[in-house]
Structure 1
């Protein structure tokens, strides 16, 4: 599932490529034909990312907002005028049979298009509908208006493990498997520790680290890296997937800081990774 930082990357791409421009829309797959017809020819006025939810606000009568949640397999792909892919998850032998929604702007060589595939939510909503969707979410560490105190108020009362709470979108919006593993490591907290046993200082550190590493990922166009340069091999600037994380998917490997074997376990229906030495219970 695309994590929240990727939704902020998508929002930036829409703002840069289509902001304040007339957008033409269609639904090659046909499942969003009515919605695409309603948006066609409108101007994109604003983009907003809340956790894993993207909202595009268009000119014209209500409903003005396109609400997209990518779910487990969804994604946007960006194309130039010659239909050469510019960004997004690589698409092999691309055709339009599974494109839920396509947005296009510009003319000639300047034309750019974005195609949506596999999303669990693709719908038009009015402002009240947007507010209802956002009201279900916890604070998003990437937003300037985020209030970490709202997340802490839920964590401090919960007996659920902090690794599970970080995945709960009603507690913190946007975190996924990578951040729920890496952030507790960066704060020195075992992901199995119940929320009630996490101190406020520890939570504050986790929130700060989550905001930092997610923001850095956005600036890199989505590439996630949590390791410090001192903790990974010297390179020419490229950081491989194997060297990018301290614990995520490194089970059985030595901890980059202390050498202890990284462990993995099921937490809920998904996995979590941790270092038993650097992250005391």
Structure 2
């Protein structure tokens, strides 16, 4: 499932390429026909993410809510203006949590992913860019405009020069401002939305009043927004915290440190497009980590392998039907 950093990146792409433009909206798949008819001919006013949910405002106080769920993704095509809010002017991107390192943006991983370039310096390119859990450049497959419909597209937003296709979301619906406010009110704090100090207090209070395992609470979007399976495992390891510890028993200073860690990790994820959770890598180690997913995490996807810190075999178990990776020694 796409985690918070991906949804923030998608919202920024919508913001940069659609705000102020009138869209042609359609539902080639047919499942969102009525909603698309409402959006058709309206102008985009705003796009924002809160946790794993994205909200796009149109004219007449009409909102689109999208939750990608497990399989949803956006494909962007056309003369895409890439987001530059976190890129340097010369096209190179520094690392938020890497000291003294400046890494070139042209890094492809072993799955063909170039997430640094996908959110780099501003440039007009005729490209297709897939935005979901991993941001994948699909290449310049065709100059046909509008681009052909590929697969089951729930919603297509089209302007004269940019196209966004939504596939496989869990939720895609038109809402009123009141309905949007009600959804957001049920979500836990997001480090990139509102005051981080207020968010920290909400997070700590929400965890401390629950007699539920911290490994479950981190995935509860009413407690904290945006954390998924990867960030959960990595944050628990970085905090040296047993995932089965009841929330009410976790030390307050540990919870505050975890919130601040989430602030950093989410910002880094939005910047790089990768869930980079290892700190203080030298330039070569960082390049390897960006190129190979197995080299950028402490415990995630490392079941049966030795812990990078103590050598103990990493454990894999199920928690709420999701895979949980942790070190039984470092997180005892």
Query: Taking structure 2 as the reference length, what is the TM-score of the superposition?
Result: 0.76
Q: What runs of 5+ residues in structure 2 fail to find an aligned partner? A: 80-124, 142-147
Partner of 1:23: 23
Higher relative contact order (CA 8 A, sep 6+): 2
Q: How many residues align?
A: 273
Gap regions ≥5 residues in structure 1: none
1:158 to 2:203 alignment: no
**CA distance, structure 2, for counterparts of residue 239 and residue 228 of structure 1:** 16
Note the alpha carbon deviations across 1:33-80, whole angstroms, 9 max, x for none.
121121122111111111111000011x24x10011111111111112
- Find the counterpart in structure 2 of residue 145 from structure 1: 195
What value does the CA root-mean-square deviation take over the aligned residues? 2.3
Q: Aligned in 2, Cα 1:235/1:201: closer, same or farther, shift over 3 Å?
A: closer
Shift, 1:210, TM fit: 1.2
Mark the CA change 1:219 to 1:174 in structure 2 (over 3 Å): closer, same or farther: same
Q: Residue 100 of structure 1 corresponds to which residue in structure 2?
A: 154
Query: 2: distance between equivalents of 1:132 and 1:235?
Result: 41
Task: Spell out, residue by residue over 1:118-151, the C-alpha distance to the aligned partner (whole angstroms, 9 max, x if none).
Answer: 1111111111000111111111123233522122
C-alpha contact 1:232 1:256 (8 A) present in aligned 2: no
1:88 counterpart = 2:131: yes
Deviations 1:205-224 (A, max 9, x none): 1111111111101011x211
Rounded to whole Å, the distance in 1 between the matches of 2:286 and 2:252 is 37
Q: Which moved more, 1:207-216 or 1:258-267?
A: 258-267
TM-superposed CA distance for 1:154, in Å, is 2.1
Q: Which residue is equivalent to 2:76?
A: 78
Quote the Cα distance in structure 2 between the aligned partners of 1:27 and 1:242: 38
Looking at structure 2, the residues matched to 236 and 119 of structure 1 have their Cα atoms a distance apart, in angstroms, of 32
> Within 1, Cα distance between the matches of 2:76 and 2:181?
28
In 1, Cα distance between equivalents of 2:226 and 2:150: 29
Q: Match of 1:47, SS? A: strand
The equivalent residue for 1:278 is 330
